[in-house]
Structure 1
């Protein structure tokens, strides 16, 4: 009698679990299908060095050499710059909220007044970068990066009203 009570419950639980799993994977696959296309081949795009004021949200630039590009005033929310070279690039007033820039080289870049809220910036190089008024609220940085940026932090972001020092936790 105990087997007949336990076994049907176990069978129902497994069926329910299977059903929930199918629903979960279908929703994940549909979410992935809605992502913007990944841009992998720089030469096929014929990228212009002046991207000023453009909506580039969600674009992916993986291992791109964007040295000297102008992204000022652009919407780069959720953009990906993994392992990209952005030396001497200009991002003044750009929105990089929720952006991912892992191991990206921002050497001598102008990051003034950039919104880096919730950005993932681990292993990126900010040597010589100008960060006056940049907002790093809840950005993910290593302790070494934080110390480096705190040494040059000043100003207040014009769109968020957050001071650079405070957003870095200096």
Structure 2
């Protein structure tokens, strides 16, 4: 038997016809708030983690690889063209003869990576970390190296190959490397 609200009960403050509104719908609101708190863009996708793998000739072209981990991975002859590798870690990766043209490498970790014969045409490497990366016979036409720390020997190799303007940032490759 239901007991009608009395002046002393908490439900008596609710407008007539609305008694019990919060207790009935509170669970829905609480669930919605928790879902919004727990969801974030970072949790919307799981970043790829293929550290220490042999992925010779792998095809990753045009893929969303943001925040991915490719540490110490052999990506010789891999196709990463047009991929989004923003914030990815390619520490010590072997990228010999890899196609990395038109890739977004902003804020990527490229330290100790080996770029030998790698195509970086129109790649954006802005704010990437590549201090100990090795560059040999690379194609960097239109690449943007803005704010990328490089060793003197790597800078010398890159300045010798630098030409073009990046179609996304509008920056000249030589200027982005501070070739002078």
Question: After superposition, where does 1:1-170 map in structure 2 within 5 Å?
Answer: 36=47, 38-42=49-53, 49-170=58-179
Greater fraction of residues in helix:
1
Matched residues, number:
136
- Which of structures 1 and 2 has the bigger CA Rg? 2
- With over 3 angstroms needed to count, the CA separation of the structure-2 counterparts of 1:42 and 1:135, relative to structure 1, is same
> What is the distance in 2 between the residues matched to 1:48 and 1:146?
28
Indicate how the Cα distance of structure 1 residues 48 and 153 shifts in structure 2: closer, same or farther if over 3 A, else same.
closer
Listed as ranges, the gaps of 5+ residues in structure 2 are 1-41
Cα deviations by residue, 1:4-34 (Å, 9 ceiling, x for unpaired): xxxxxxxxxxxxxxxxxxxxxxxxxxxxx97
Which string of whole-angstrom CA distances, capped at 9 and with x for unpartnered residues, describes residues 15-54 of structure 1? Answer: xxxxxxxxxxxxxxxxxx97957543526xx897111100
Once residues 65 and 121 of structure 1 are traced to their aligned partners in structure 2, the CA distance between those partners, rounded to angstroms, is 17
Q: Equivalents in 1 of 2:79, 2:129: separation in Å?
A: 21
Unaligned residue ranges in structure 1 (runs of 5+): 1-32
Closer, same or farther: CA 120–65 of 1 in aligned 2, 3 Å: same
Scaled by the length of structure 1, the TM-score of the pair is 0.74
8 Å CA contact 2:50–2:73 kept in 1: the answer is no
Tell me the distance in 2 between the aligned counterparts of 1:40 and 1:50. Answer: 16
Superposition CA RMSD, Å:
2.1
